[in-house]
Amino acid sequence: MEKVYLDNAATTQVRENVIEKMQEALAKFYGNPSSTHSFGRSAKTAIESARKTIAKELNAHPSEIIFTSGGTEADNMILRCAVRDLGVQTIITSKVEHHAVLHTAEDLAKEKNVKLHFVAIDSDGNPDLSHLKELLMADDTKKLVSLMHVNNEIGNIIDIDSVCQLCHRHDAYFHSDTVQSIGHYPWDIKKTPVDFMTAAAHKFHGPKGVGFAYIKRNSGLKPFISGGSQERGFRAGTESFHNIVGLEQAFVTAYENLEEEMAYVKELKTHFIQELKTKIPKVEFNGHSADMTKSTYTLVNVRLPIEPQKALMLLFHLDIKGIACSKGSACQSGSETASHVLEEILGKEDLKKPSIRFSFSKYNTKQELDYTVDVLKSFVED
């Protein structure tokens, strides 16, 4: 049986050189990074080297990189600390954000009496920047805007530079969940001066359970987890050393090979879309996922012309055929409810049709995509 992994937006295959780096770390550098002896100092040096490596690529300062367990923790950290430490009274976000942001914002509205506003979303899933401006000008409360750079379900890319400028023009903080874009797009904090951003290593061929938050220097945020001086005192707890060096290796490799791998994956996505349109003429695409300029090159969200009852078997059928994909984000895969993102942009009839997210990486081939399209075609026509 063919085995085809097309769920790279959920997590990616770990690169061989990352595994080797992590194995070396586990075997040789087992000292506690907080210890003052040579074993500890070696581990600490490697962690600081990773911090500097990431900061240099992002054109940031090393002190602005805080290692976390991943994107969800980083999002929670930033939103909660902004309310607690910066006097944020209003959070402006959208209903198509990842639940790490949405649920945290909703919790803060209940727990801290924070005003919560949602930017209007158009039928393609894009935030209305005119409405964002209205919300920013609505009152004089201290505001935090949180909008993701690349949507994890439909792949839309927001005009992050315009959002950044708009927020700063109105004296608001700007946080962006960049989990789907770090490692896939070049970044320059000086050109796009977000206040806060987040990343997860497992989205760019690194290990799970590690990521980082970018927190602008002198932001005023205070420790999120107390109990020690790790991570500049901001996040207490012994660092996950092997994961951090794995993150660094994955990050370095991603950016060293960015142009080549981006071109290859773009070609895969273009081919997949063309094959789908040719062999399943009534196929539709959600959001801007079929537009190579308005969406990320790493995923496409497909809506198939299948009756609701038959659609219940689609993911099972694909799995039986060895094809791994997702009906939405991995965090939603166990849920029977429709994707909250698609509910915002699709009508009732289109929501009844099955929508599948296929996401690609350097490890995929055109042959795998051809096989996937043939399996889909057979299921649709059967």
Residue 326 has pLDDT above 70, yes or no: yes
Could you tell me the pLDDT band of residue 312, with boundaries at 50, 70 and 90?
Answer: confident
CA–CA distance, 245 with 42 (Å, rounded to integer): 12
181-193 tens-digit pLDDT: 999 999 999 999 9
The CA distance from 275 to 372, in Å, is: 10
What confidence tier does 1 reach under pLDDT thresholds 50, 70, 90? low
380 φψ region: left (φ > 0), alpha (ψ -120 to 50), beta (else): alpha
Confidence of residue 372 (pLDDT cuts 50, 70, 90): very high
For the chain, the distance separating the N- and C-terminal CA atoms, rounded to the nearest angstrom, is 20
- Judge residue 264's burial from the number of C-beta atoms within 10 Å of its C-beta, 0-12 exposed, 13-18 middle, 19 or more buried: middle
Which residues are marked as active site? 331
Mean of pLDDT values over 296-316:
93
Average pLDDT in the chain: 95
Write out pLDDT tens, residues 98-156.
999 999 999 999 999 999 999 999 999 999 999 999 999 999 999 999 999 999 999 99
| pLDDT confidence bin for 290, thresholds 50/70/90 | very high
So what's the pLDDT on residue 328? 54
Question: How does DSSP assign 90-155, residue by residue?
Answer: EEEE-TTS-HHHHHHHHHHHHHS--EEEE--B-TTS-B-HHHHHHHHHS-SS-EEEE--SB-TTT-
CA distance linking residue 23 with residue 242, whole number of Å: 8
At 330, the pLDDT band (50, 70, 90 cuts) reads: very low
Confidence of residue 335 (pLDDT cuts 50, 70, 90): low
**Percentage of the chain with pLDDT > 90?**
91
Domain spans in the chain, listed from the N-terminal domain onward: 4-12+258-381, 16-256
Residue 321: both structure tokens together: 């055929």
pLDDT of amino acid 17:
98
Q: What is the pLDDT of residue 363?
A: 98
* Position 334 confidence tier, pLDDT thresholds 50, 70, 90: very low
Domain 4-12+258-381: give its CATH code.
3.90.1150.10
Do 326 and 191 touch, CB atoms closer than 8 A? no
* Residue owning tokens 């760019």: 204
CATH fold for the domain made of 16-256: Aspartate Aminotransferase; domain 2 (3.40.640)
Query: If you average pLDDT over residues 236-258, what whole number do you get?
Result: 97
Q: How far is residue 189's CA from residue 195's CA, in Å, rounded to a whole number?
A: 9
- CB-neighbour burial class of residue 326 (10 A; exposed 0-12, middle 13-18, buried 19+): buried
The string of DSSP codes covering 21-77 is HHHHHHHH--S-TT-SSHHHHHHHHHHHHHHHHHHHHHT--GGGEEEESSHHHHHHH
Angle at 46 between CA 40 and CA 48, to 5 degrees: 100
Token pair of 224, please?
Answer: 């999120």
Q: Residue 343 and residue 121: Cα distance in Å, rounded?
A: 11
Percent above pLDDT 70 for the chain: 97
